Structure formats: structure tokens, C-alpha cells
A and B are shown apart, each in its own frame.
Chain A
């Protein structure tokens, strides 16, 4: 692999992204405050790129949309139309925790014998440019406690790291898809040779185990998580403390919808005289209708059972099946929960630290 890195000054960031627009559908965090979201970029939106925070809705929605039409049927002819999945998409500015979230989705959608074709196609067509977290975007970030490294994103095609001076990014190209991006940027450096748009360095990119020279202010939130947390939590399945943990829960879907790893969906149909649409949309295990059976019986009748299921899925069930925790410590659910519930308390309680 070509280990060369490129340095992009912040002033030239727009130029660098502009160079990607002809080749990819580019998405990047854009907008201010509560409007910060991964947005489709075009020439007019380049100025709105905002890399200071992490959007509330994680980039999983670009691979696993909130709502997608699976096919539409013409009821008269019976002809089905399957929507096309976009070719070559590029997601710019994915945080390392969100990238781990995508790796979790990969396991859920692509492994264990079943491949979700829509997800697989999107994933195949997507190039990811990750952005190392020099500072934690949320006060509630705890990725380091969940085994994450805010400065590394092994699975990313390109990894951008802010330089120590804070006026530029170093780009490391980590995969063949990443090298495609490098080709575009290399030609750019030649095109506008006058400006010091990009400077090539021959420093080796971060290799495993070595961290870049600069270190930032990282997670202030530290959580004690024992290795046998899944087993401990499973053993505590009937613990009466679940009722206490869940008593403040309002039963909304905020935690799931802002979570970079929640992947539950529902499939339903909208029938009209001219068109029948089968669609898939996000669903959430905190809703009462999620586990309701056809006859009306609900095996998870109250918020206690639903909340326990959600936390156990995050911290135990997924681990059992795929060997990784379904919580990457992005801190969004803690930051956004309207009742201030806190998954780290469950981790520490389950792990025996509380």
C-alpha cells in the first residue's frame, strides 16, 4: 500500500472536496448547531461544511436510509420497479466511532450467511474519508472506554488528522478506494501548482500501534468495562435493578435513532390505486408496537423489558453473535436522551463497578 500522506490546508479544503464532486455523490457534515447533518454537497454547499462537531444523526443513514423504497408495483400490470442504488458515494468527515458503528452494521447486514443486498451495494459503492477526533465532539463521548481510538480509523479509506498547528489536515490513504481519492487530489495539486494546495510528505502514515505525534483533549468520560460484561449482564437478566434503571425512561426512540449502530428496521407497504410501494424504514425496540405479535400479545410489555432488551442487545447479545460490542461510545444517546438516561451507568452497574 502506498503510505504517502498528503497535507491539505484548511483553506484548501473546499478545493479538495470540489475535486471529488465530479466523481462521487459527496456527503459531509454541514450546517450549524442543531442543523448539523450529513448533507449532499454540491458547489453551492461547499461553504456550509462544518467539521467542528459530530452530527446528531450518524452517517449510518447514508448506508441504511431512514426510509427506502424496496420496490414499487403497478397494480394494473403487476410490473415491479426496483429503485437504483447510487453509484460511487463518498462520505467525508466520518468520526472513528461512527466508522466502528459502520463496521458493526457490516457484521449485522453482511455476515452470518445473509447478505442484505441494498446495504451491500451501498457499502460497496461508498468511499469513506474519516476525520480523527482531536477533541471529543460531545461532552458525553466515551469511545476510548469502549476500545475505540479517536485518532485511528483502520477501516476508513482515507483518514484525515488535524495537524498540531490546527491549520491543516494530514490525509493518510489506507485502501485502494482511498488511493482513488488520492489520484484526484494528486491531479489537483498539479492543476493549481501555484497555490500550495497540497504538500506531499513522505512520512509514513499511522501504522497500527503508533499514534501521531499530536495528542488532543480526549474523552473526559471514563467508563470501567470488564471483558466479561456480556456474561455478567446475561446473569443479571432477572435483576430487579432493571426496573430502577428504566423508571425514568420515556419510551421514545431517540436513543436508537441517534445511535450509529442501531440497525432495526420494519418493512411495510403503502397501497394506492396507481402504485404500491414496499418500503423499509428505521424501527426502534423501545416502541410498543415493535415486539407486538399478530395476536396482540407483547412479550416485552413495559419499558423495563424494552430497555433491558436494548441495553442487552448493545452490550451482550451482539457480542455473543459477532464478537463485538454494539456500543461504540459515541455518547449521542446520553447527550440526547430527553430523560437523561445513561448507558455508561448500565455498563458500570453490569460490570460490577457500581
Chain B
């Protein structure tokens, strides 16, 4: 074990990309042989409006360290208004994540059009750096190695708080 985990750690980043803009932009980045970190896994969705906030939570629970939602610029949506709903939804979602003790820097939303290959590259590079600096997310569901201690028995060991909480 001589290798320090901190130096070998590579975050897993899940990027939901809309079919019409960002996915095409990512494709263009590839065609132009742009280099960007290999940490990102792209999931193509018909529209950024398809992305349910639960996808984000689920991604974190399944081991993602960072999540991106990318779609067309406002006004450019293939379905006219899809990304306007996205905008409201994830504006709130970011606050809710922070409220729930999940670092908001693990979640990013971007408008990236089909011609903005460089913007895609830059966004992915930036997110990979930010998330790498944060380290592994604490949200992954871990398999209980031993079923010795059932859930509520562990609970009491965490901080106890009083009052309105």
C-alpha cells in the first residue's frame, strides 16, 4: 500500500446532457479531439427538463461524486420551454442539496449549445477539478459489511440535538 489514496483518487462525475445541444456539443468536442478529464460519464436525455431531481439524489446514492445537468441555452430548447422548467427546478435543487448537507459544489448546471465544444470541455474540466478537491462524496450507500448492528441501534451514536430540531 505505498500509494496515497489522495493522489490516485479520481472522482466519478455523471453528466445529464440534452440530446439537442449539450450532447451534440460533447460530440463536437470529440470530433475536434479536445482533451478533457475522463471522469465524466455522459447520460443522454431528450431534454434537460427530463432530469428529475431524484436522478441527482440517486446518482449520489449510487456513488457519483459530482453531477452535472446540461441543456440548451434559454430560448433554444428543442421543445420550446423545457429548459425553463429545468432552470427553476435546479435553482431550488441546489439549495435543497446544500440544506441536506450535500456540498452544493458537487452539483453543476450549464447551458451548452451544440457548437460550444470548448465550453463543454471547460465545464467538464472545471467540475472535475472542483469535485476532485472535495474528495469522495459521503452519500454513497455502503453495503453493511456485517449485519451486527441494525439501523436504529447505530443512530444514537450520532450527535443528539434538542429544541426545535
Contact = CB atoms under 8 A, between A and B. Distances in A.
Direct contact of A and B (CB under 8 A): yes
Given A39-B153, A62-B153, A83 B63 contact: no
Interface in B126-155: 141, 143-155
B143 A275 contact: yes
6 contacts: A30-B156, A37-B155, A39-B157, A65-B150, A67-B150, A68-B144
A57 interface: yes
A239 interface: no
A61 B62 CA distance: 26
Contact of A66 (B63, B141, B146, B151): B151
Contacts of B157: 39-40, 45
Contact of B152 (A37, A69, A83, A272): A37
Given A31-B156, A35-B156, A39-B157, A65 B151 contact: yes
Interface string A42-69: 0001001000000001000110011111
Contacts of B149: 25, 40, 86
A38 interface: yes
Which of B146, B148, B160 has the most CB atoms of chain A within a 10 A radius of its CB?
B148
Nearest to A125: B148
A175 interface: no
Contacts of B141: 270
Given A27-B153, A38-B153, A272-B62, A65 B160 contact: no
Interface string A85-112: 1100100000000000000000000000
B146 A86 contact: yes
Contacts of A25: 148-149
Nearest to B144: A69
B150 A84 contact: no
B154 A40 contact: yes
Given A35-B160, A272-B62, A67 B151 contact: yes
A309 interface: no
Contacts of A67: 144, 150-151
Nearest to B155: A37
How many A residues are at the interface, by size bracket? 20 to 34
A270 B140 CA distance: 13
Interface string A101-131: 0000000000000000010000000000000
A47 to B, nearest CB: 12
Contacts of B143: 69, 72, 275, 277
DSSP majority for the B interface? loop
Interface of A: 25, 27, 30-31, 35, 37-40, 45, 48, 57, 61-62, 65-69, 72, 83-86, 89, 118, 270, 272, 275, 277
How many B residues are at the interface, by size bracket? 10 to 19
B45 to A, nearest CB: 20
B152 A61 contact: yes
A105 B151 CA distance: 19
B152 to A, nearest CB: 5
A86 B153 CA distance: 14
A31 B151 contact: no
B150 A66 contact: yes
A342 to B, nearest CB: 25
Nearest to B141: A270
B155 A39 contact: yes
A48 B156 contact: yes
Nearest to B161: A35
A270 B142 CA distance: 11
A222 B150 CA distance: 34
B156 to A, nearest CB: 4
Nearest to A56: B152
Which of A25, A40, A66, A85 has the most CB atoms of chain B within a 10 A radius of its CB?
A40
Contacts of B148: 25, 84-86, 89
Which of B141, B150, B155, B157 has the most CB atoms of chain A within a 10 A radius of its CB?
B150
A101 B156 CA distance: 24
Contacts of A35: 155-156, 160
Contacts of A89: 148
A62 B151 CA distance: 9
Contacts of B146: 83-86
B157 to A, nearest CB: 7
A259 to B, nearest CB: 15
B142 to A, nearest CB: 10
Contacts of B152: 37-39, 57, 61, 66
